[in-house]
């Protein structure tokens, strides 16, 4: 296993939200900080996904496209999902503070770290049932998030196509 900053687990505190939590805890919250938090999270996950699979950058590209698509709304980006499909509304309910939102966030942030740990035998002594339960949570959550991400991208492209050029 790699050591220091070359080890993808070095980026885990960013990926699992410690940086955002610390900013809120110490009242260091700003629009710039929120934007930077997402950028750092995406860069960190990109590094982990790319270290796992040759196609890992594809997952990161989807996340970056979604980031670009939602940032046109600024700090109010979580408020534009009222007319989405049922699953999108459930995930985005109360600003992602729902059971489906938590599952999607666990998939987005947890799956790359979990896969890296599995690939490098970090948790060799976990019981079989725990391993498969975590697989189901992280993979299921990531698939839910992928559905929402796909809807966001499609909706953004539809809105762009509706804009009339001068």
**Residues in CB range of 54: below 8 A, 6 or more apart:** none
Two tokens, residue 154: 């499609």
Alpha-carbon radius of gyration of the chain: 17
Give residue-wise pLDDT tens across range 25-59.
Answer: 777 777 777 787 788 888 888 888 998 999 999 99
Residue 42, number of CB atoms within 10 A of its CB? 19
Compute the average pLDDT of residues 135-157. 96
| pLDDT given for residue 3 in this prediction | 47
Distance CA(117)–CA(100), nearest Å, equals 24
| pLDDT given for residue 9 in this prediction | 56
pTM for the model stands at 0.82
- HEC string of 80-111 equals CCCCCCHHHHHHHCCCCCCHHHHHHHHHHHHH
């Amino acid at each position: 296993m790699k050591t220091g900053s070359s080890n993808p687990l070095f980026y885990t505190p960013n990926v699992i939200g410690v940086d955002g939590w610390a900013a809120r805890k110490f009242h260091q919250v700003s629009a710039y900080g929120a934007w930077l938090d997402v950028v750092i999270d995406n860069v960190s996950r990109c590094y982990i996904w790319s270290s796992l699979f040759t196609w890992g950058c594809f997952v990161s590209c989807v996340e970056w496209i979604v980031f670009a698509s939602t940032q046109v709304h600024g700090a109010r980006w979580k408020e534009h999902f009222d007319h989405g499909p049922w699953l999108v509304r459930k995930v985005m309910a109360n600003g992602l503070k729902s059971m489906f939102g938590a599952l999607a966030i666990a998939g987005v942030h947890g799956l790359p770290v979990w896969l890296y740990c599995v690939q490098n035998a970090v948790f060799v002594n976990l019981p079989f049932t725990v391993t498969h339960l975590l697989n189901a949570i992280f993979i299921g959550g990531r698939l839910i998030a992928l559905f929402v991400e796909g809807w966001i991208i499609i909706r953004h492209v539809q809105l762009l196509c509706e804009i009339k050029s001068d």
